[in-house]
Chains A and B, each alone.
Chain A
Amino acid sequence: MVRALSATFVLSFSVAPVGAFLVLRRLSLAGEAMAHAIVPGIVIAFVIAGLSVGSMIIGGLTAGIAVAALTSALARRTIIREDASLASLYLIALALGIFILSAAGSAVPLKSFLFGSILGIDDETLLLIGATATITLISFALILRPLITSTIDPVFYESQAQRPGLVTQWCMFLVVLNLLGAFKALGTLMAVGLMILPATAARYWVSTITHYLLLTFVFALASCWLGLIISFYLPNVPSGPAIVIVAGVLFFLSLIFGPLGFHSLRRLTSSRNLDSDSNHPST
């Protein structure tokens, strides 16, 4: 349990900025799809090489890159748009992953594979999470400014950058890496929940990027610890859903009480009605 708590402490540091930028870049659904798309990679690696961290990373990264490349190829070359091709591919990938895992008669129960378990966190997983967090945090220290610029104003960013596509690709790589890091504690289905929900919840409270990243971390950590404790005292509840439910509660509380939640929506609408030549930006 101590191991799980410390693992998720480090993990929260790592997934918070990744989730925050997925939300800001309007890629929340792409992140979700990516989480499912890497399943067959992990499963095939697992069936071939056993449940080692190394095989999981190789399998997951390969599948992630393959799906991302295939998605953009389908979107460019055929009539199907990017969202539809991503949805098609991740459904196929998820089904394939579960199929192979069940057919191979896995040693790991399907439930903990999909939904995570605290007991799954061994020394190797701790190392993986530590390495993921290190790479993620160093990356963000380096690419924070380009990332902010390209998110706010991609056209301006392209005018300034030598290779504007690099930031986006690196960002997607960090997503896959963090999904793999979160996989043991939360399971493949729930891993992305720890990225997206704290980030959407925090968005209702803050107006600067620094505060946003900090609050996202706090929410992620609170979700992990409360979720783990719940899952510890209710032994039949896997940790993934417990953590994501706590994050969900935080989301709804933020929606109701956050200054940019329902609250501000009411205020904006009433001030718009009073002042018809609107002082608010047109979107």
Chain B
Amino acid sequence: MKQPLLSASGLALGYRDATILENVSFALDSGDIFAVVGHNGSGKSTLIKTLLNNLAPLAGTLRWERGKPDTIAYLGQRTEFDSHFPIRVKDLAAMGVWSSLGLLGQVDSDCQRRIDAALERTGIANIANMPLHQLSAGQLQRALFARTMVQDAPLILLDEPFTAVDQNTEAELLTLIDDWAAEGRTVVLVLHDLSAVLQHCNAALLLGRGRSIFGEPKSTLAPSNLIDFGYLSAGQAAWIETMYGSSENNSV
């Protein structure tokens, strides 16, 4: 049974001297997989920061229907990530519980089970003792998904989680995201892979040129909208339309 989690109406986002987005409205329920799509600089990361509460909206309201969750799981882009830090995979995953333990709390057997389960589910239990610097990009992303899973949060924010991974890994991680949604967690997914959005997400927010549109993915991300919001050129949109037009015919 889906329950409302969050509703945003008339949000203006940005920084004191630069409004990036205006009049953003959407609603999220538990179990939603919510895609955020938009060109570079359209305000996707700004929206994520606002949801994390690191940035206050300039206008409008952000209402948590059942109170703001204690933990919001977050997996950002890896631009500032230090993959040479001397730490093992299982300890990276364990970082997911650290903030809930306070400064001196110990990892109890309950947390340990959560960590082990996450390593197992992301397919990296066999490399749990490997140091970070030996991992491939795909293995590292699996470890970060394990950390996200360990955070055990009702709301999970993923900012372009598949930029560095191959198709296989992406497909596996997407089924993991489906599982999270089935458990009643809400997943916000910043993504450029439109086919993944259409297959896995049940709501989408398209951002671009300072505006936004919210709805179910297929109509929201219609080629005419993608062109209108500056995400695709007309030529690219036509190409995509032939691609998805044909696959759709097959599935019907």
Q: Which residues of A are in contact with B by a Cβ distance under 8 Å?
A: 24, 141-143, 145-146, 148-149, 151-156, 158-161, 203, 206-209, 211-212, 278-283
**Separation of A143 and B98 alpha carbons in the complex (Å):** 11
B91/A280 in contact, CB under 8 A: no
B237 beta carbon closer than 8 Å to chain A: no
Q: Are A158 and B54 in contact (CB under 8 A)?
A: yes
Query: A203, B86: Cβ atoms under 8 Å?
Result: yes
- B251 nearest CB across to chain A (Å): 33
| Beyond A143-B103, A281-B83, A281-B140, 14 additional pairs, beta carbon < 8 A | A142-B103, A151-B85, A153-B76, A155-B77, A156-B75, A156-B95, A207-B86, A207-B131, A208-B87, A208-B91, A208-B131, A279-B136, A281-B133, A283-B83
| Candidates A24, A146, A156; contact of B74 at CB < 8 Å | A156
A-chain residues with CB within 8 Å of residue B104 when the two chains form the complex: 141-142
The answer on a CB contact under 8 Å between B98 and A159 is: no
Given contacts A156-B76, A159-B74, contact A212 B86 (CB under 8 A): yes
Shortest distance between the CB of A61 and any CB in chain B (Å): 24
In the complex the two chains form, what is the Cα distance from A203 to B103 in whole Å?
Answer: 26
Interface readout for B58-94 with A: 1 if CB under 8 Å, 0 if not? 0000000000000010111101111111111001100
Chain B residues contacting A206 (CB-CB under 8 Å) are 86
A161 to B91: give the CA distance in the assembly, Å: 19
How many Cβ-Cβ contacts under 8 Å join chain A to chain B?
85
Which B119-157 residues have C-beta < 8 A from chain A? Answer: 131-137, 140, 157
Closest 8 CB pairs of A and B: A207-B131, A155-B76, A159-B74, A160-B99, A145-B98, A152-B85, A281-B83, A279-B136
Closest chain A residue to B148, Cβ basis: A156
When distances are taken between beta carbons in the complex, the residues of chain B under 8 Å from A143 are 103
* A84 to B82 alpha-carbon distance, docked (Å): 24
Give the residues in chain B near A203, CB-CB below 8 Å.
86
> Contacts A145-B98, A156-B75 known; A280 to B86 CB distance under 8 Å?
no
Whether a CB of chain A sits under 8 angstroms from the CB of B52 is: yes
Given contacts A207-B88, A280-B134, contact A159 B82 (CB under 8 A): no
Majority SS of interface residues in chain B? mixed
B107 CB, min distance to chain A CBs, angstroms: 11
In angstroms, Cα B77 to Cα A203, docked, is 26
- Do the beta carbons of A281 and B92 come within 8 Å of each other? no
Contacts of B164 in A (CB 8 A): 282
Q: For the complex formed, measure the closest distance between the CB of B95 and the CB atoms of chain A, giving whole angstroms.
A: 6
Q: How far is A278 from B81 in the complex, measured between Cα atoms in Å?
A: 19
In the complex, the answer to whether A161 meets B99 with C-beta atoms within 8 Å is: yes
CB of B136 within 8 A of CB of A280, answer: yes
CA–CA, A5 and B93, complex, Å: 41
Asked if residues A145 and B103 are in contact (CB atoms below 8 Å), the reply is yes
A87 to chain B, nearest CB (A): 23
Shortest Cβ distance from B133 into A: residue: A281
- Residue picked from A143, A154, A161, most chain B C-beta under 10 Å: A154
Closest chain-A Cβ to B174's Cβ sits at a distance in Å of 21
How far, in angstroms, from A211 to B86 measured CA to CA in the complex?
9
Task: Name the distance in Å between B218's Cβ and chain A's nearest Cβ.
Answer: 31
B contact residues around A161 at 8 Å (CB): 99
| Docked-complex contact A208 and B86, CB < 8 angstroms | yes
Cβ–Cβ contact B135 & A281, under 8 A? yes
Instruction: Please name all residues of chain A whose beta carbon is closer than 8 Å to the beta carbon of B80 when the two chains form the complex.
Output: 153-155
A146 to B103, CA, bound (A): 8
Cα of A153 to Cα of B79 in the assembled complex, Å: 9
Please state if A149 and B85 are interface contacts (CB–CB under 8 Å): no
6 pairs of residues in contact across A and B, judged by CB atoms under 8 Å: A152-B81, A152-B85, A152-B132, A156-B95, A203-B86, A211-B86
Q: Is A149 touching B103 in the complex (CB atoms < 8 A)?
A: no
**In the complex where A161-B99, A280-B134 touch, is A208 in contact with B88 (Cβ < 8 A)?**
yes
Q: Which B residues, 155 to 208, have Cβ-Cβ distances below 8 Å to chain A?
A: 157, 164
Contacts of B76 in A (CB 8 A): 153, 155-156, 159
Bound Cα distance from A89 to B76, whole angstroms: 35
Residues of A within 8 A of B83 (CB): 281, 283
- CB contacts (< 8 Å) of A146 on chain B: these are 98, 103
Q: Closest chain A residue to B88 by CB distance?
A: A208
Q: Identify the interface centre among A151, A152, A154, A206: most chain B CB within 10 Å of its CB.
A: A152
Q: Which residue of B lies closest to A281 (CB)?
A: B83
Check A281/B136 contact, CB under 8 A, given A149-B95, A153-B80, A203-B86.
yes
Q: Which of A211, A278, A279: most chain B Cβ within 10 A?
A: A279
